[in-house]
Every structure is written in C-alpha cells, then in structure tokens.
Amino acid sequence: MIELIEVEKTYTRPDGGTFQAVARTTLSIEDGEIYGIIGRSGAGKSTLVRLINLLERPTAGRVVIDGEDVTALDAAGLRRLRQRVGMIFQHFNLLSSKTVADNVAFPLKISGTRSRDEIRKRVLELLDRVGLREQADKYPNQLSGGQKQRVGIARALATDPKILLCDEATSALDPETTQSVLQLLAEINRELGLTIVLITHEMDVIRRICDKVAVLDRGQVVESGNAADVFLHPQHTTTRRFVQETEHVDENEQYADFAQVPGRIVRMTFRGESTYDPVLVQVARSTGMDFSILSGRIDRIKDTPYGQMILALSGGDQDAALRQIAEFGVIVEELRA
Ligand SMILES: Nc1ncnc2c1ncn2[C@@H]1O[C@H](COP(=O)(O)OP(=O)(O)OP(=O)(O)O)[C@@H](O)[C@H]1O
C-alpha cells in the first residue's frame, strides 16, 4: 500500500546550512497493516510520515501509494492523494470557530462532490463511528482532549481514505484516554481495512496495536519488522532502551542484582498459546532442576500473548531441562553460564 523507495529529506536552513532529517530509507507497508514508527524527539518521525502524503517533498527517492508513484504529482494530483490519505495530529488541528459537525464536514465541502444532505448524513455516520453524535453541535473548546482527537479521526475518515497517518496522535492524552483512542484506531483498522501508520515515542503504543514497527534514530531506520519480534528480541541499543523504558527495567541495575544470585541465569521467552502452558514446572519436575524467578512478565503484544522471565537455575540436569524447554518453542537465552 505504501512504498518509500530510498527516500531522503534534507532541509535547508534560513542561513543556507543543510540538515538531513531522514537519511536514505526504504520501507514497505502492506495493505491493512498497523505500522508504527518509533523514535525520540528529533529522530525524523514527523518528517518521515509527512513524506507519505507529500506534506514534505523528498529531496531524493520515490513515494509509491497503492501502486502509483506520487512523488511528482501536481497540485490537483496532491489534492486527490490527500483524499486517499487521511491524517490526525498530536494537537488535533481542529477549527475552533466551527462546530464538531462542521469540522468533520470540512474535507467533504472542499472536495465538492456531495450535496448538503449527503454531507450531513455522512457526518452523522462518522460521528456515530467515533461515539460523538451527541456532541455534533458543540465547539472544540467544549470537548475533552480524547473527544477532540475523535473529531480529528472522524474528519480524517470523511473522504473514505485507504490510509490513515497518525502523527503522535495520543501524545497529548492521559493514559486512559490514550487507551480508548488506540482501541478506536484498532477497530477502524479491523472494520474498514484501513492501513494505519502511526508515529510515537512510546513503545507502549506500539505494543498495544501495531503489527509492524520501524525504529528511527537520527534519521535512520535502525531496526524494523514484526512488532512482537522486535519487542521481544530487540537488537539495536535504541530499541533496547525503548523496551526497557516501557518495562520499567534498567538492564544495568538488573545485572548488578544478579551478581548476588548464585548459579546459571537464563531468560525465557514464551510466545503465543504456550505462554499459558505449565512447561517450566513439568520440565523442572522431570529433570530435578530447581529454579527461582528473578523477574517476569506476562502480557500481550497486540493479539499475541507472551511471557518473559529471568530465572536462576540450580541442581538437576539443567542441560536436558533447557533442551526440553526449547522443544516447546520457548526461546532460551543464557545470560550467565
Ligand atoms: N522545516 C525544517 N527546516 C529545518 N529543519 C527542520 C525542519 N523540520 C524539521 N527539521 C529538523 O529535522 C529534525 C527531525 O524533525 P522531525 O520533526 O521530523 O522529528 P521528530 O522525530 O518528529 O521529532 P518531534 O517528536 O520532536 O517532532 C529535527 O532536528 C528538526 O529540527
């Protein structure tokens, strides 16, 4: 659905200096996916996502949307593109002098293809979808942050886009409201088959709803792939830091604590339905191995349950135990032999 082919973006500053915000990047996003791009402030996330709808023109490379090269579109072509690619923003960008219904109607009015009655009907449908029909005649400043973002979502969906871009869409919201907006995005993705690209600086947002993720660091994609793979087995230091933050773990502190524990230390990652199987206890019983749990977590990455724990092993036939555990599809990593 979206292909960025060797895109680059270099800004020219007023003093004539240049700054490369996005280094040569190739990304492919499939139809119907929720694709997250995570990075720190200044990593180039906004620039990268704005290259998709050509709010920023790439300095090099090509952007292909649904099979069409859109890189060199003229103004009319860009208007058509933006009807196929909706966008929502961190600070909602609503028109404060217009009602909720008029904000949602705005893209329909400028596209000029529907009658007043058709627009009214469509607006009410959209407000129903985001749970705001009762608020149709209110003004944005009478709404909460979460409601404002729902208006933003309804407005972005007005022209029936195939793609929804979300630029830090939950960053201005409290955790509970974030949750409900993410649920709404997941529902829209499921029910309308919309492809969603979201950028965030929070791994938790990725963990809740993304199928795939790309980690951006100083304009470069340093790691990308299936969200569960990247989250459970982060390779790059930047990714590892994001994961540790969301799990509230400091790897250095944790390793310092392990120094006080005797024996072999391993990390086990259970994924999918095996998460709920009593694998560990069964194997420990049959091999005479003892273990103590130093840390552990059972949770979900989107729809995949997982468990990850760090264990200290003692006694019994540990090699046989670890072999048997691995045969159940559990990934075993030795942290200290
Ligand atoms: N129009 C511009 N001219 C010059 N430099 C720019 C321009 N827009 C962005 N930059 C610079 O490009 C870099 C990447 O910016 P971008 O907004 O894409 O990052 P980001 O990851 O979205 O960060 P944030 O979350 O803080 O917005 C930053 O260093 C920024 O200062």
Q: Where are the domains of the chain?
A: 2-245, 257-336
Q: How confident is the model over 155-179, as a mean pLDDT?
A: 94
Q: How far apart are CA 131 and CA 125, in angstroms?
A: 10
Ligand 1: distance of its center to the CA of 86 in Å? 21
Q: Which of 183, 232, 169, 190 is nearest to 37 (CA)?
A: 169
- Report whether pLDDT(252) > 90: no
Q: How far apart are CA 41 and CA 31, in angstroms?
A: 28
Q: Where are the beta strands (DSSP E) in 227-319?
A: 264-271, 290-301, 304-314
Q: How far apart are CA 195 and CA 165, in angstroms?
A: 9
Nearest CA to ligand 1 atom 6: 11
Q: What percent of the chain has pLDDT over 90?
A: 77
- Report whether pLDDT(36) > 80: yes
pTM: 0.89
Nearest CA to ligand 1 atom 24: 41
Asked, colleague to colleague, whether 2-245 and 257-336 share their fold, the answer is: no
Q: Within 6 Å (CB) of ligand 1, which residues are found?
A: 11, 13, 19, 21, 39, 41-47
Cβ-contact 169, 89 below 8 angstroms: yes
- Report whether pLDDT(313) > 90: yes
Could you tell which of 45, 168, 202 is best to mutate to test the pocket of ligand 1, judged by most ligand atoms within 8 Å of the CB?
Answer: 45
The per-residue pLDDT for 110 is 85
Could you tell which of 13, 18, 19, 217 is best to mutate to test the pocket of ligand 1, judged by most ligand atoms within 8 Å of the CB?
Answer: 19
Calculate helix-pair angle for 116-129, 100-111, nearest 10 degrees.
Answer: 130
Ligand 1: distance of its center to the CA of 20 in Å? 9
Ligand 1: distance of its center to the CA of 168 in Å? 13
The per-residue pLDDT for 244 is 85
Q: What percent of the chain has pLDDT over 70?
A: 100
- Report whether pLDDT(266) > 90: yes
Nearest CA to ligand 1 atom 2: 11
Ligand 1: distance of its center to the CA of 266 in Å? 41
If pLDDT is split at 50, 70 and 90, which confidence band does 114 have? confident
Nearest CA to ligand 1 atom 1: 11
ipTM at complex level: 0.94
Q: What is the pLDDT of residues 47-81, one digit of tens each?
A: 999 999 999 999 999 999 999 999 989 998 998 89
Which CATH fold would you assign to the domain 2-245? Rossmann fold (3.40.50)
Instruction: Specify the higher pLDDT residue, 26 or 260.
Output: 26
- Of the listed ranges 13-22, 111-120, 229-238, the least confidently predicted one is 111-120
Does the domain at residues 257-336 carry the CATH identifier 3.30.70.260? yes
